[in-house]
Structure 1
């Protein structure tokens, strides 16, 4: 429902993903994913509220409130807060309730729905309901962030069946279901005889392969944020980041760093690995937007061009030049894959060797990182082909 109604509203307002994203503080790829259904934020999430705010702001700025009211049935004259709340209700109307009569559906339709529901996410949500435990309570027992449980329940991640975290999750839920006396309901959901129920049968059913592919899998205890120290730590984080990108279905990278290029070129083993992974990203047709700084030392500029120019020729890289001088007081590094992870660090210039580089997988941080990147883009200009050719000639490449 969300994807369909959002698509209708954007078309009727005569706008596009980029304009709505700008008003909402998202990257345009987020709006695209909302519209095609590959990512559906919950109605109570900050993403849903930002989306409603962006739609309402766009309508107000272009004097299209009446169009918005007509499409959604929202009453004009309410306060802004009530209108935004009503807009969320309209976008998500019927999202959590099954529509229609099951008996009226064809057998093929019912089989399709059962297959769609036969995922780890669906099984986990049902089992947690029987166990009478929330995301927060479960995460505290497991000593993980609650957002990890949320990603499991929404299908964004699936723990490897043989991992420690999978075993811990299973044991907690299994014991609570036994304690709550909810085995009969579980057996009915599993579609087995009560006499066939056992700890092993439950485990095999709980972690059986999904009929629908999860967006990405996690192995072991993965948290929303990991810290890497110093340049060697940054290199380790970057390798992890690029490998995760290649294993995912994401199709965009957003890159910015104004720190010394030595982190990339100073270690030949790392540089060769970095280039190989970047070439794989390009072979997958991943769109790469990178913002360069023109106020670097000449040897740094030459080094950057020599490192990146062979990759530019693929046509998958969109290079930009920042119009703002980076200054000598601070450094900032920001590498983003919009629906996967982000690496971020900032601090006083000269402290890069001892800085902490954070690898974030939390949705809210990634969105904040995207907003930062978009602000940098507002003060950047595309690098023209003629400029690349001039640099190529000057560097004898």
Structure 2
């Protein structure tokens, strides 16, 4: 269970309102509401979880309340109930148990993103518009079970591939995804056919299910990355919680066919999957999808070097949000670059918008320095070897988003950038550096603003950046980076040692 679900359960069992809990643990009711809705997650080692546990333990007086909590917590593999002596201790352990799977999921995702190779998909074989018995499809066809769903999906895509006029496909499924991922042969065929659908000029609007496990969610996004790179897909999500009992699949090609199915929980083995080619039925199913879509939000935006203007606008909007921030890239961040170095680097690009880029970057730096007065900014840096800097082989961060090719630091430019970081450390108490010597997550960028959103991407060509503002993913990545910093990097007490190390590097250049 997620923390929000645990808190909601405890509050329902004890008939506790947000305001009552807030008053008893000396916190703001709006913060309790955000915790309860999953908009916020508790940071590590916070004190209020102990106070919460004490409150709930005191208010579980009836046997039915104690039994309900005990049975729920007992199902957790991470809380050893036999070692717990009091209800307060039991609840406290349950509320603060760490979800290591979440960190592992993010690790796998970022590693996968950094190693993506954009291979050319094999052309999808044309699938005849026929049933296995050789007869043409009628206006309604029924396919049963997991294998039936796979056959129905292939039939749906084959019909789309045979359509001569490009259209926008509408896809949604919160059913168990075993039908898609557990048969490699089918998965390969499905992905190749879908890629061919996009190459034929079709667009896709897809509603992702964000109340799946984080691992499922990130795996699904990673699998879709090559197709996202085409710019032909708009991903959405439904922002409210759902219980996941009754589940639905809707695949619609408005000019061609609609595929629908439903199931209870993860029970898809005997479910019926309906393929419609009747125009009135397709129109009705599309209306259902659009009603759902009207309640959804954009899940993420995807940027490549071919859409750099949009990326720069999004980056400016992201950084204008007043919030604490953590950033990790393979090179020094552009936001800490001194103005003279910005001018030197931009003088080497071929863009006719060079002056606008200079003005844009100087405004970013000005806003960054202003935000340091109130909010902290933490930068995770892995310094290259001095020989690599002196040889001019250090890439300017995301320079291919501004230029046709990568731009490299001149040794003096890198030294000036390093000296500027040293001055930031000396002049701004809210600016922090964490030096790391391992190559963990090399090839990826992660930039998070607390309670705002996440920018993550692949740093080497072809660069790609994903922008998320979905609250659960923002919290997950924020907690992940805080854990990474606390586990691998120096504490703030080592600020002077970090300064000394940076100054020693600058002296070698």
Give the TM-score taking structure 2 as reference length: 0.37
